Structure 1
């Protein structure tokens, strides 16, 4: 089974056209983001913060920035997001660099 096939059937079952705006939250399953973009051109994609932090924690063996990662994810303005990201940088520069590689809008 492919994501394209699955999402095509989901689109039909839900009776949605390609102009329907929808946001998908994923944990980076292979091929899923590409299939979403093909089927729903106006869709948005977000990463699951829990999985993002789990990967960060595994890579950097850091626990102290957990609350700051969640605070950044919940930021409602660019200024608030940048303020929290600066705090993360002060706590763990390598983790900050890793997070900055991810699209902020996701």
Structure 2
């Protein structure tokens, strides 16, 4: 099990990644991304795009929920120190959305 201090280190590292990524903007965290910036910073490979389309159709997602999933997936990737959103990150973000639908919509 990961210790609290290890989790804190990962969170701080993710925050530094986000600061560097958004250094030339008024954005500080992934949660602040607009729809246009989501398109820029939350690019999906073909497999992830198919997964997201499937989730969109099966879960009847709103555009807002779709964007929130992408922001959460971007954050999960940052916590792992990954430059790109992978299938694992996207699946985890979709799972969170599926667990509590009222929170996301």
- Specify which structure has the higher proportion of helix: 2
- Specify which structure has the higher proportion of strand: 1
Larger radius of gyration: 1
TM-score in terms of structure 1 length: 0.30
TM-score in terms of structure 2 length: 0.30
